[in-house]
Structure 1
Amino acid sequence: MIDIHCHILPGIDDGAQTLQDSVALAKAAVDNGITHAVCTPHIHFGRYDNTREIISQACTTLRNTLSDHNINLAISAAAEVRFDVEILSAIERDELPFLGEWYGDKILLLEFPHGEFPIGAAKLTRWLLDNEIRPMIAHPERNKGLLERPEKLSPLLEQGCLLQITAASVIGDFGPKAEKMALSLIAEGVATVVATDAHHIKRRPPLLQQAYDIVSKHQGNAIAQKLMVDTPWAIARSHFPGSD
């Protein structure tokens, strides 16, 4: 399986804090059936001011360490970018790393504030799309504003935005409301991928296989395969040359 949202790079956001933490998460991912991971540390302006260089260096360090430990997880890196007007200038300066590509568009993993659906969301996503950047909305099923009014997603879906659902939401680890919305978005056919959003080996481990089994039970194996293997690989394959 292919994981395109996780926080396993060491010491640069609220995910793995040490290289030892990163190795433990990577080993758990492999044990869970994950073969490739695009690591997506936060870029949250004013809080996690990560850059391409910082992220790339952390990824190289972890990649070399995984090789030393014979842990067969292929990794690359992008970012989970918090909704902010500063995204526009960062894009214009070519400072943001992308998840990959989708039908010719670059894919940006875009995170909304957890407590609300931000005013102006559709304007930002429209600007991104007009600039051949397709937003993938991170974990919409965990956003309080969308849980209260899921219809607010409709304009973004009509624009062509993609949705990333959290595996732990499918499993039920984020509560019944998030679980219900996650399964509903999958059943409606509007979810694009399911990913782990793993942060911590005990509190938020990589549990993609468990989500795969649940989706397969409710929607069939073909849908589970699409959400956790085929589509994430189609998006991220440019990160892993020679892996086809």
Structure 2
Amino acid sequence: MIDLHCHVLANIDDGAKSVDEALSLMALAQEQGVTRMVATPHIHLGIYDNDINSISAAYKALSQALVSSNIAIELRAAAEVRISPEIVLFVEQHKLPFIGHYQQKDVLLLELPSSHIPAGTDRLISWLLSKNVLPMIAHPERNRELQNHPHRIKPFVQAGCLFQLTAASLIGDFGSAPQQLSEQFLKERFYSIIASDCHSLKRRPPKIAQAKQLVSSLVDEEYAFALTTEMPRTISNSLFQ
């Protein structure tokens, strides 16, 4: 399996607090059958002011530690980018790392606020697509506006966006509302991938294997394989070549 959304780079956001914790998270992911991971620290202006340089430094530190570990996971780095007007400037200045490439576009892991869909999101997505950037919306099931009005995801589906399901949402770790919405979106086959969005061993460990089993039961094994292996591999292949 391939995990395209995880917070394993140390001391860079609210994820792993040390390289040792990062290695422990990766070891747990490996036990579940994960063979590739793309670390996606937050880029959230005013809270996590990461950029390509800070991400590269943290990635280098973890990569060096991996060499002397027993972990065989291949690792690359990108980012989870909180939606903001500054994204336009960042894209124009080539300052955002992408999680891969799909349908001749760079794939941007785009995070909405947990509370609502900001005004102008549709216009930003249209602009990104015009610049050959394909948004993958992170964990839409955790957005309260979508929980209350699930049909509001339809314009983003119709625009061609990709969608990432967080494994813990489907398992129920974030409560019943995200769980129920993730089940609904799965049955409508809106999701493109499942990712762990893991942050820490105690609070938010990786649980992709468990989520894969649930998708097999809710939908079918073919979709579960597509979400955990086939699509993540297709999207991220350009990073691992």
Q: Match for residue 23 of structure 2?
A: 23
Q: Match for residue 88 of structure 1?
A: 88
Deviation at 1:181, TM superposition (A): 0.8
Q: Distance in 1 between matches of 2:156 and 2:223?
A: 22
Poorly superposed stretches of 4+, deviation over 3 Å:
none
Q: CA RMSD in A?
A: 0.8
Q: Match for residue 137 of structure 2?
A: 137
Q: Match for residue 209 of structure 1?
A: 209
Deviation at 1:233, TM superposition (A): 0.5
Q: Describe the SS at the equivalent of 1:5.
A: strand
- What is the identity, as a one-letter code, of the residue corresponding to 1:152? R
Q: Describe the SS at the equivalent of 1:71.
A: coil
Q: Distance in 2 between matches of 1:183 and 1:5?
A: 19
Q: Describe the SS at the equivalent of 2:5.
A: coil
- What is the identity, as a one-letter code, of the residue corresponding to 1:186? L
Deviation at 1:184, TM superposition (A): 1.1
Q: Distance in 2 between matches of 1:186 and 1:67?
A: 37
Q: Match for residue 161 of structure 1?
A: 161
TM-score by length of structure 2 reads: 0.98
- What is the identity, as a one-letter code, of the residue corresponding to 1:106? D
Deviation at 1:176, TM superposition (A): 1.3
Paired positions, count: 241
- What is the identity, as a one-letter code, of the residue corresponding to 2:112? F
Q: Which runs of 5+ in 1 are unaligned?
A: none
Q: Match for residue 12 of structure 1?
A: 12
Q: Match for residue 108 of structure 2?
A: 108
Identity value in percent: 42
Q: Describe the SS at the equivalent of 1:212.
A: helix
Deviation at 1:51, TM superposition (A): 1.0
Q: Distance in 1 between matches of 2:238 and 2:171?
A: 29
Give CA-to-partner distance per residue, 1:162-207, whole Å, 9 cap, x none: 1101001111111111111111111101111110000011110001
* Higher mean C-alpha displacement, 61-70 vs 89-98: 61-70
Q: Distance in 2 between matches of 1:182 and 1:153?
A: 12
Q: Distance in 2 between matches of 1:12 and 1:234?
A: 27
- What is the identity, as a one-letter code, of the residue corresponding to 2:90? A
Q: Distance in 1 between matches of 2:52 and 2:188?
A: 35
